[in-house]
């Protein structure tokens, strides 16, 4: 299969472009340190919130075509109108279950000698994490314990209950308890960490958790 990129659901190959090169480097961890006179070890705030935070993700994609200048101009105009300055979702053919989010910049160039046209599509403000295309949905009926598995990115699920329900869980050494009526709820303190997250449900209805996982 020929390597391809989808941007907002549109295949670059379907627009006539050949994927020549891509660069998706891992985002750099945010680093903030303070040097204190007389102290040999700096004060580090990289994990001030209990986890590592990251700088915006930058990436670059280069596509080419061979043909007349007129044909190239039409193709570049189409790509620019669709993607330049647009906050977009980008998916590679190698990892179709993940997408990146960022504002795209389109830079064209054409070599009249070789009749080779190039367009560089890049991003400098991308979200640090890549997101799973498929949302994670876990439903549980009645009372008991439920385990929510999560990838690397911390995420807060949306909780929908069909009857009055009590939810109990722990984050680190902190315990939480919420009793809610029928409806959809979001609790900022119900942040899912990496791996298994166990909650206790008390009620007779169906409880549904929805969240989108992510990874670097």
- Which residues have CB under 8 Å from 180's CB, separation 6+? 159, 161, 164, 165, 166, 167
One domain for residues 27 and 92? yes
Tokens (6 digits) for 32: 């903030």
- The CATH number linked to 17 is 2.40.30.200
Q: How confident is the model over 7-66, as pLDDT tens digits?
A: 999 999 999 999 999 999 999 888 777 777 877 777 666 655 667 888 999 999 999 999
Q: 109 and 187 share a domain?
A: no
The per-residue pLDDT for 29 is 85
Dig out the tokens for 138 from the structure: 């876990």
- pTM value is 0.89
> Are 151 and 76 within one domain?
no
Parts of the chain with a pLDDT under 70? 43-50
């Amino acid at each position: 299969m020929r390597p391809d990129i989808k941007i907002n659901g549109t295949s670059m190959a379907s627009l006539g472009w050949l994927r020549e090169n891509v660069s998706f480097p891992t985002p750099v961890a945010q680093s903030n340190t303070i040097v204190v006179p007389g102290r040999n070890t700096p004060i580090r705030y990289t994990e001030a919130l209990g986890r590592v935070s990251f700088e915006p993700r930058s990436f670059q994609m280069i596509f080419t075509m061979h043909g007349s200048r007129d044909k190239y101009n039409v193709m570049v105009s189409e790509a620019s109108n669709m993607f330049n300055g647009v906050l977009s979702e980008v998916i590679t053919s190698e990892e179709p279950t993940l997408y990146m989010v960022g504002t795209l910049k389109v830079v064209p160039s054409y070599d009249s000698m070789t009749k080779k046209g190039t367009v560089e599509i890049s991003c400098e403000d991308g979200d640090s994490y890549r997101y799973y295309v498929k949302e994670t949905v876990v439903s549980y009926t009645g009372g008991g314990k439920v385990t929510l598995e999560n990838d690397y990115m911390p995420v807060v699920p949306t909780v929908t209950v069909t009857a009055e329900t009590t939810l109990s869980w722990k984050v680190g050494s902190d315990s939480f308890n919420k009793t809610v009526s029928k409806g959809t709820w979001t609790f900022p303190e119900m942040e899912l960490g990496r791996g298994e997250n166990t909650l206790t449900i008390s009620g007779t209805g169906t409880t549904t958790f929805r969240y989108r996982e992510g990874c670097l």
